[in-house]
Amino acid sequence: MEALNKFEDYFNDREVRQEYKKEFISLWNGWLGKENYHKLDEVTVQDWNKFNNLIRLIAEKYNILFVDFSNKKLIKINDIEETLFNYEDAMNKTADEFSYYVIPEISRFYEIIIRMFFDDHNPPHFHIFYQDYEAIIHIQNRFVKGEFPCRALKIVYEWLDLHKEELLANWKLMQETGEYNTIEPLD
């Protein structure tokens, strides 16, 4: 196992590494683009508050890390409010000064994403994501909660059988410290 929470695991300077899917949250439909920068001047306080509320909702569902580009670090967020900007401050920032976040992954293979969450409920389990499917798998008994395609689930079970002890150690580490280790993907 290899400790993650390292900036270099996700970024090359300010660019997201190719193996990760870059998602963005925007007030507009699609990427804004330079030709539409004038729309930034049209953002209202209400628009900005909706945007911050969306970030809050994401932080409730996922454990996210704050990206500190100046120090090249990923930082565990204890209070999402500390990373959000109010309307006035946001309107005076350049695009490079806005917040970036990472939703940490334990492993990724065959388009399947494996995650564990800080302060999650017992029994020890992990979350799996594939296309539009999401499920939880209990590590000890392989019980599945949620819907997941059979073929993809068989692949996850194969990976689980190979890494059960690492997953249990990761669960304990996350609950005690909030840190985690990546686990080798299935080849």
Distance, in Å, from the CA atom of 122 to the CA atom of 45, rounded to the nearest integer, reads 41
Helices and strands counted in the chain (H then E): 4, 12
Residue 144 lies in a domain: yes
Last residue of a domain, one of 78, 102, 126: 102
User: Do 86 and 116 share a domain, yes or no?
Assistant: no
Distance CA 102, CA 84 (A): 15
The pLDDT tens digits of the residues spanning 6-37 come to: 778 778 877 877 777 666 666 666 555 666 66
Query: Is residue 164 located within the same domain as residue 84?
Result: no
- Tell me, yes or no, whether 115 and 130 share the same domain: yes
Residue 68 in contact with residue 116, Cβ under 8 Å? no
pLDDT of residue 32: 57
Instruction: Please compute the mean of the pLDDT values over residues 132-141 and round it to a whole number.
Output: 94
Same domain, 94 and 17: yes
Structural domain containing residue 125? 107-182
User: Which contiguous run of DSSP H or E holds residue 75?
Assistant: strand 73-76
Q: What residues have CB less than 8 Å from 159, skipping those under 6 apart?
A: 107, 109, 114, 185, 186
Is residue 173 predicted with pLDDT exceeding 70?
yes
Question: Does the residue 133 lie in any domain?
Answer: yes
At 2, the pLDDT band (50, 70, 90 cuts) reads: very low
Q: Which of 66, 85, 102 is the endpoint of a domain?
A: 102
Is 97 in the same domain as 114?
no
- What is the number of domains present in the chain? 2
Q: Quick one: 165 and 73 in the same domain? A: no
- Domain finish residue from 69, 102, 135: 102
